[in-house]
Amino acid sequence: MESQHQSRSNPEARAKYRIRSFSMRGHNRMARDYDEVLEQHGPTYIIDVPVGPAAATVAPDALIDLTAEFDREAPLIVEIGPGNGEQLTHAAQQHPDWNFLAFEAWHPGVAKCVGNFARAELSNVRIIEADVAQALPIVFGLEIVQDDRAVQGGSGVGVDGTGIATGLVAASHQNAKNPRAHELWTFFPDPWRKARHHKRRLVSDLFTLTAAGVLEPGGIWRMATDWENYAWQMRDVIEAAAWFDNPHVGERPDPEDREPERGGFAPRYEGRLLTHFEERGRLAGRPAHDIVGVRREAPTQNG
């Protein structure tokens, strides 16, 4: 009998939950090696969540207890889109006293991460295979409230009527008890280069509400990209966000910027490994920009 969590073939549900920031690679077909790795090490590292109405979604009523999953309380770092897990594996080795939770929608990427975690014999990292934009509010029990006039381009799940994008209504979902993150990492998200695809980019005004809900007050959202106009967009999003401060306003002006004097870029995060992915961009003439947002205690009224 088909359970309520297995309605993947329902086209209406699939359209509703289609991942917007994620381009499919290789039809998610896994190499045989990955099967073996997942069979052997998946149970250690993958948080096995009930799936939602479409592939790469989490069921809205999934109960996830992060403290139990890690079997301890420790500062939490959340990484979005770790790819093959190069940075994540490195960081988890460097900080055995931190818990690392990753969200990756690309199935072979999940298998590669798991293989890397196992080779490094890590015990402080877990991964959820899901579209992060859909999964984060569920895993952290967030109810995002927004006003469509304040946050353009989003399909809000509620309107608070005050005219500002406040987000973060205290949720009754049991997952709201999960610890908030010390840091949230979004390194080299899919760039969606064509202007008509920019709306698919993960870092957006609407996503700042989710990011703020995941982070503890004073927590840090670290971003990096090798696409200049995405770096400018990240900077613009953080500086407009009601829940974030940019501690590097005016720093490191970029002559290529459409507002060259403006700056707003962070120094390279010392905890960020030079990954193969970044190196490829660098060799192609695309040096990375780092952008940082510090989560405020409370939102500002004017962003």
Chain residues that interact with ligand SAM, rule: CB under 6 A: 19, 21-22, 81-83, 86-87, 103-106, 109, 131-133, 187-190, 202, 275, 277
The single residue of 33, 65, 190, 257 carrying the catalytic annotation is 190
Rounded CA gap, 130 and 245, in Å? 28
Residue nearest to ligand SAM (CB): 81
State both tokens at 42.
């998946």
**For the chain, what is the largest distance between any 2 Cα atoms, rounded to a whole number of angstroms?**
62
Give Cα separations from 256 to 213, 261, 288 (angstroms).
33, 10, 13
- Minimum distance from residue 142 beta carbon to ligand SAM (Å): 16
Site of tokens 């999960």 = 178
What does the alpha-carbon distance between residue 212 and residue 80 come to, in Å, rounded to a whole number?
A: 14
Nearest Cα to 129, choosing from 110, 112, 101? Answer: 110
Q: In this complex, which beta carbon is closest to ligand SAM, that of residue 110 or of residue 150?
A: 110
Quote the least distance from Cβ 156 to ligand SAM, whole Å: 18
Determine the 3-state secondary structure of 184 from DSSP.
strand
Q: How far is the CB of 268 from ligand SAM (least distance, A)?
A: 13
166 vs 208 by CB, closer to ligand SAM: 208
- By beta-carbon proximity to ligand SAM, the closer residue of 77 and 164 is 77
Indicate the residue among 47 and 150 with the shorter CB distance to ligand SAM.
47
Please report how close the Cβ of residue 38 comes to ligand SAM at its closest, in angstroms: 16
In the Cβ-directed half-sphere of 257, how many Cα atoms lie within 13 Å?
20
Known catalytic residue at 65: no
Quote the radius of gyration of the chain (alpha carbons, Å). 19
The catalytic site residues sit at 190
